[in-house]
A and B are shown apart, each in its own frame.
Chain A
Amino acid sequence: MPTPSPERPIVIKLLEAPFEPLELLAAWQRSFGAAGTAAESHFIGRVRPTTASGAPLEALELEHYPGMSETQLRAIAGAGAARHGVGAVLVAHRVGRIAPGEAIVLVAVQADRRGPALRCVQELLENLKHHAPFWKREWSGGRGTWVAGNTPL
């Protein structure tokens, strides 16, 4: 049985400038102290170099609903953490103009065992892609096109 954490530290970061996911992860891990954790699962999403139609991508623009985006990320993370009985959760999400190769999202989950950690990361990622108010616009050839839907899992 997974041991539910009495307090599930949920950290949500909305970032307007490029971030280095490994540095964020390192700081997050340090917050657990010397004992560390038994299991962690991480996902890093980066901007791919082509548009949905295969053209070279200049940049991805991320619009969001300030206020609601953070509230929704926190609600999604909290519900997922409770459902899977995991400990700490970190979600970092870029907004604004993002260059190909730059990180756009980081999801990290700490748990007692690999199963809950892995399952929780996957569920959080899918939920935030569909239920947190973010919208992508691809810039290519000086023109912006709103992305119609998420890529398949």
Chain B
Amino acid sequence: MHRRPVVAPSPDLATAVRVRLFAALRERAGWAERLVPLAASPTSAADLWQRLALDDGSAAGAAGLPPTIRVAINQAFASADTPLRPGDEVAFLPPITGG
């Protein structure tokens, strides 16, 4: 038997996903990047959006992922319903204004 750590270990990428926020979304949430442990059941980006309470608080109750927010998994656009795997990089992208 090994001892239980006194301090909860920070999640590592073997069991977690790296969540990244950009632009207005990053500033609203107050963080840019976070390691989030995956639950035992399949987790999607849409699930994480609710779990991390990333909505702007204007909707009553836990708001789902708004259609204006796009999801990228491992730096490629992906459906918000895609099941995540440990080590994935998940990004929430507010409306794009390039060029």
Contacts and interface: CB of A to CB of B under 8 A. Distances in A.
B87 interface: no
Contact of B22 (A128, A133, A148, A150): A133
A152 interface: no
B96 interface: yes
User: Chain B, interface size: which category?
Assistant: 10 to 19
**A contact patch SS:** mixed
B8 interface: no
B22 A129 contact: no
A3 to B, nearest CB: 29
A136 B97 contact: yes
Interface stretch (A27-35, A63-71, A78-86, A110-118): A63-71
Given A133-B93, A135-B22, A135-B24, A68 B72 contact: yes
Interface of A: 45, 62-65, 67-68, 71, 93, 104-105, 125, 128-137, 146-150
Give 5 nearest A-B pairs by CB, closest first.
Answer: A134-B98, A135-B23, A129-B99, A68-B75, A146-B24
Interface of B: 20, 22-24, 27, 72, 75-77, 91, 93-99
